[in-house]
Amino acid sequence: MVLLAMGITMNSLTGLGASAIVSVPFTVSEATGLSFGDLTLIVYILFVGAEFVIMGKKSSWTYLLQIPLSIVFTRIMNLIKAVLPYESGNLPVDLLVLVIAIILTGVGAAMTVDMALIPNPGDGIVASISARSGRELGLCKNILDLCCVCCSLIIGAVMGNPLMGVGLGTFISMIGVGRVIAVFNALARTGLRRMAGLETAEQKA
């Protein structure tokens, strides 16, 4: 979870646009000056509601546990943003930080979902879409990211600048995070779940 928070926050600090999944609250934050973490919390609560709609009768009350988790998670994001001394402006360095951010985000998201713990709502909604559609988790992540970026462009356009919270880094992360999840799961998911006893438990069930 900390890796995920670091990845999302570092992405926003590059000056190349926020990570796609949080591009909507980042765009609103840039336009209004409101807290990025607080706006992200609002979006995460909406994601939890969407999970109930997507899963229908297969929904679980445990989805609601994502809300207190989101409160802690977004406070960690605010803390990381406050303590990281990074200043954007050097494109090669910004791109390097972006790559690190994408890797951290993808690995953090994959590990959280794979361990069957309470997920971050951004990952929980992806897992719900994947479970309902039968599609691979990384692909569902790419699709949701695309939807978020489109919403950010629309919100930015209404506020006078379509690219207010969207940049090169947003589009790179939109593709990159989903692919990192897919590669990580292909290489490590089975082994991690076996080490955690999750594969054995599922087989016995």
pLDDT of residue 128: 92
Q: How many domains does the chain have?
A: 1
Q: Please say whether the beta carbons of 123 and 113 come within 8 A.
A: yes
Is 129 inside any structural domain?
yes
Is 26 inside any structural domain?
yes
Q: How confident is the model at residue 203 (pLDDT cuts 50, 70, 90)?
A: low
Q: How confident is the model at residue 102 (pLDDT cuts 50, 70, 90)?
A: very high
CA angle, 157 then 159 then 165, to 5°:
70
Lowest mean per-residue pLDDT among 89-93, 103-107, 181-185, 194-198: 194-198
- pTM comes to 0.78
Query: What mean pLDDT value characterizes the chain?
Result: 87
Is 15 inside any structural domain?
yes
Is 7 inside any structural domain?
yes
Is 204 inside any structural domain?
no
Average pLDDT on 184-198 reads 86
Average pLDDT on 167-173 reads 88
Identify the domain containing residue 74 by its residue range.
2-193
Q: How far is CA 127 from CA 24, 50, 170, 179, 196, in A?
A: 20, 12, 21, 15, 19
Burial string for 29-59 (b: 16+ CB within 10 Å, else e) reads bbbeeeebbebbbebbeebbebbeebbeeee
Is 202 inside any structural domain?
no
Q: Is it the case that residue 186 has pLDDT exceeding 70? A: yes
pLDDT of residue 54: 93
pLDDT of residue 43: 93
Separation between Cα atoms, residue 98 and residue 11, nearest integer Å: 6
Lowest mean per-residue pLDDT among 36-45, 140-149, 194-203: 194-203
Q: Is it the case that residue 205 has pLDDT exceeding 70? A: no
Is 200 inside any structural domain?
no
Q: How far is CA 20 from CA 26, 141, 142, 179, 198, in A?
A: 10, 10, 9, 14, 30
pLDDT of residue 200: 63
Q: Is it the case that residue 33 has pLDDT exceeding 70? A: yes
Q: Is it the case that residue 97 has pLDDT exceeding 80? A: yes
Tokens representing 54 are 């997507």
pLDDT of residue 202: 47
Is 95 inside any structural domain?
yes
